[in-house]
Amino acid sequence: MKFYGREDELRQLSQLEQKTKIQGVMTVLTGRRRVGKTELAFQQVQGQKFIYLFVSKKAEFLLCQEYLADIQRCFELPVIGEIRSFSDIFKLLLELGKTNRFTLIIDEFQEFTSINPSIYSDIQKLWDIYKKQIHLHVIFIGSIYSLMRKIFRDKKEPLFGRADAIIHLQGFSLNALSNLLKEYRIFDAKNWFDLYLLTGGMPKYVELLMDAGVQNLSDMLNVMLAKNSLFLEEGKYLLIEEFGKEYTIYFSILELIAQGKTARSEIGAILEKDIGGYLQRLEDDYTVIQTYKPMTAKPQSRLQRYTLIDNFIKFWFYYFYANRAAIEMENFSYIKKIMNKTYANYSGRILENFYHTLLAETGLYNRIGRYWEKGNLNEIDLIAVNDLEKRMVVAEIKRNAKKINTTELKLRAEKLRPFFDGYTVEYLALSLDNMEDWL
């Protein structure tokens, strides 16, 4: 699959690279695994001189031997004695940066935490000394968000404030997904939505499905539910390293949220445990979930719900983790039967997120959210507001447009009037049938 949809990020990286004419530049590229961080960096350095170093879990001395060989393939070096520390490797690269303009990519940078944490202090000291003298663009890539955030955003850490830019890479936009499906000649509204639901726009997952020649949802599920499929254990591999020893508690919470148990009290009652601290870490440290409140709620309001941010993670917990015994037995037909019974209901909830994202990508609104009252009364699926032009969209969202009653929607929306006095309101019925209207 060819490279898609990263024009803004490539433009930003190019602008950063241009600054190396004057001095060294440090860029941090983060985002969860499979989002395409390394591929983005490689696209940026096409036709340029660069060195790529991967931080694998091995002794520092062995890494240094590998790195020295990589450097010698790019530069003619004098005979060098034994190098045992990454500090010496980094200093060598900075010296080369005095007379050579090139890019240094260090992948899985957070792994130095377990290899030798003092490396971060060494980098900081050397960077402060050399930055004004060199023409080097350093790109640090990291997949474990909590560690990368600590390394570069924690005021107590040596590399705090050193990065010229921190780019957090997200999955493909809905517009990019639609263009990709059109290029493969399989675009229709349902394929567009199903691909969003299953992959969350993660490039690696999209690539696997496209390379398999999928034509529809059934094909997509056959690829995902196959022996030795990457997708089967993917959720575990993505999160277990983030969560550490307490991953089972975190997994239980995420499974419940995926099932629609979105209130803290509801989750805590089922697990019979105070889960406030876990929820806070899932949101603030790991950015796996987020809270949302009714559009009109005050900041201190306790009326809030939780949702999983990543569509694939949500799908994995709902279908794969919840049925892990069947997965281990490779009883994929059983999982498919469950999907046949529940997919319409499950996808109905995801369709709401789809439209929230779709309207956000239009750039026409500055606020998009939902509304409900205590006891889940007067629920409204989508409210999109343009405060500058004093207009808003109020919508109900269902897979089948025939099940939407706009008269009832208008009655429920009466509760919003005091908060949006003088606003023009457009009432919409949004379904699978009119998704393309917003492209």
- How is 115-149 classified by DSSP, letter by letter? H-TTHHHHHHHHHHHHGGG--EEEEEEES-HHHHH
pLDDT at 314: 97
The pTM assigned to this predicted structure is 0.89
pLDDT at 1: 64
| Mean of pLDDT values over 131-149 | 94
3-state secondary structure of 46: coil
Handedness of CA 348, 352, 357, 362 (dihedral sign): positive
Q: Which tens digits make up the pLDDT trace of 45-66?
A: 999 999 999 999 999 999 999 9
Number of H helices, E strands in the chain: 19, 11
Residue corresponding to tokens 């277990």: 240
Q: Which tens digits make up the pLDDT trace of 199-219?
A: 999 999 999 999 999 999 999
| Mean of pLDDT values over 295-315 | 93
Those residues whose C-beta lies under 8 Å from the C-beta of residue 349, and which sit 6 or more positions away, are 260
The beta strand positions in 144-281, using DSSP E, are 165-168
Those residues whose C-beta lies under 8 Å from the C-beta of residue 367, and which sit 6 or more positions away, are 295, 383, 384, 385, 387
CB 140 within 8 A of CB 171: no
How is the chain split into domains, by residue range?
7-168, 174-224, 234-330, 361-438
Report which DSSP code applies to 261.
Answer: -
CA distances from 425 to 171, 295, 337, 369, 410 (A): 32, 15, 42, 15, 10
Q: Domain 234-330 belongs to what topology? A: Arc Repressor Mutant, subunit A (1.10.10)
Joined together, the tokens standing for residue 131 give 């930055």
Q: Which tens digits make up the pLDDT trace of 171-206?
A: 999 999 999 999 999 999 999 999 999 999 999 999
* Superfamily classification of domain 7-168: P-loop containing nucleotide triphosphate hydrolases (3.40.50.300)
Q: Which tens digits make up the pLDDT trace of 219-250?
A: 999 999 999 999 999 999 889 888 888 899 99
pLDDT above 60 (res 79): no
Q: Which amino acid is at 380?
A: I
pLDDT above 70 (res 147): yes
